[in-house]
């Protein structure tokens, strides 16, 4: 296979895959349980962009990762040595400080499924993203437990991966909100510390090339969505109104409209 082939785990509607598409990577397949999210993913990245070389053995539908592990084990083992990158992170709801932050949330157990998938496929590199709360231990009757972030790092190290995790604030990279996320890089080939060093070193050039800056404010992002711009009948939901875009009023809005 090509050296830039990846698999997207817990893919959602395809944010990470879209970024990798724009960066010149090629997807093999993606796993996403939610039917609606996968419908959006399929429409944009599979049907429209033809971004995936989807294998014949895996139906092009929404999948639970545990069902994939159970039903397609031999096919997954056959991918060892052929996958450059696995991206995505287990669902964050149980870890998020914005929600109930529940250690007993069933979705937290998907961390184990994630590790099992990595163990079987053995991608050369790993990119895991999760909320900042992933790095905080849950309180229990013995004090504070081990953070899931450290648990994942330790288990990846047992599989032979070098690892490095950091909190990254995506507001520093042109996102119009304070959005701190835990990023974990794992690799069989290189020291992951260099990823974060390059990320910071190339930030200014990246923003300049996009015509952006650090600290984009909300007005620059969505002032073209104001109700005062007008409304129209919604084409696919009877009885609802759709907003009308104004002309773009910022470089950020111009960037978001590219390719539309």
Q: State the pLDDT at residue 36.
A: 96
Of 161, 205, 165, 212, nearest to 184 by C-alpha is 165
143, HSE (Cβ side, Cα atoms, 13 Å): 4
> For the chain, which residues score pLDDT lower than 70?
1-3, 91-108, 136-145, 260
Q: State the pLDDT at residue 98.
A: 47
Distance CA 79, CA 114 (A): 16
- What are the CA-CA distances from residue 21 to residues 25, 27, 40, 44, 258 (Å)? 5, 8, 16, 11, 15
Residues catalogued as catalytic: 92
pLDDT tens digits, one per residue of 182-235: 999 999 999 999 999 999 999 999 999 988 888 899 899 999 888 888 999 998
Distance CA 153, CA 75 (A): 26
Three-class DSSP category at 97: coil
Distance CA 72, CA 74 (A): 6
pTM, two decimal places: 0.84
Residue 27 DSSP one-character state:
E
Q: State the pLDDT at residue 108.
A: 52
Q: State the pLDDT at residue 30.
A: 98
Q: State the pLDDT at residue 138.
A: 52
Q: State the pLDDT at residue 95.
A: 40
Three-class DSSP category at 243: strand
């Amino acid at each position: 296979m090509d050296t830039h082939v990846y698999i997207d785990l817990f893919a959602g509607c395809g944010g990470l895959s879209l970024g990798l598409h724009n960066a010149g990577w090629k997807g093999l397949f993606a796993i996403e349980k939610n039917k609606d999210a996968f419908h959006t993913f399929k429409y944009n990245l599979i049907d429209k962009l033809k971004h995936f070389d989807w294998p014949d053995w895996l139906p092009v539908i929404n999948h639970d990762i545990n069902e994939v592990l159970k039903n397609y084990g031999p096919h997954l083992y056959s991918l060892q040595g052929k996958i450059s990158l696995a991206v995505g992170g287990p669902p964050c709801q149980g870890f998020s400080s914005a929600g109930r932050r529940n250690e007993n949330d069933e979705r937290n157990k998907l961390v184990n499924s994630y590790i099992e998938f990595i163990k079987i496929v053995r991608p050369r590199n790993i990119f895991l993203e999760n909320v900042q709360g992933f790095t905080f231990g849950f309180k229990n009757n013995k004090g504070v437990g081990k953070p899931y972030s450290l648990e994942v790092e330790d288990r990846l190290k047992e599989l032979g991966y070098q690892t490095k995790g950091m909190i990254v604030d995506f507001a520093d990279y042109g996102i119009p909100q304070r959005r701190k996320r835990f990023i974990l890089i794992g690799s069989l080939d290189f020291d992951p510390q260099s990823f974060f060093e390059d990320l910071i070193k190339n930030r200014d050039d990246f923003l300049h090339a996009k015509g952006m800056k650090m600290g984009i404010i909300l007005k620059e992002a969505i002032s073209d969505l104001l109700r005062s711009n007008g409304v129209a009948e919604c084409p696919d939901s009877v009885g609802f109104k759709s907003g009308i875009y104004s002309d773009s009023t910022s470089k950020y809005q111009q960037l978001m409209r590219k390719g539309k």
